[in-house]
Amino acid sequence: MIWKASALLFMTEGRKQGTVIDFKADVIAHGGDPDDIKHVCMDMSAAYTKGVIEMLPKPRSASTDFM
């Protein structure tokens, strides 16, 4: 699946590691492959960072440009 560069894929409240688990499940539910994710734009909290490392090991970059 090819995502539009400007599309918001997932948004939630809170800063829990489980949010990344929920995001991964949402990508799969919509026909995507989490292994295709190469970049992540997120809050750089420890919980999100740990979640991305464990659940989405392929991203090569992360940023907080939206903040």
For 4-17, write each residue's pLDDT tens digit: 666 677 777 777 87
Q: Which residue has the higher pLDDT, 4 or 33?
A: 33
Decide: 20 and 49 in contact? Cβ < 8 Å: no
Higher pLDDT, 56 or 28: 28
pTM over 0.95: no
Residue 67: pLDDT band (50, 70, 90) is: very low
Where are the chain's structural domains? 18-63
Q: What does the alpha-carbon distance between residue 43 and residue 63 come to, in Å, rounded to a whole number? A: 8
Is residue 21 within a helix (H) or strand (E), and if so which, with residue range? helix 18-29
The predicted model gives 24-33 an average pLDDT of 91
Tens of pLDDT along 34-54? 888 888 877 778 888 888 888
Specify the DSSP class assigned to residue 12: -
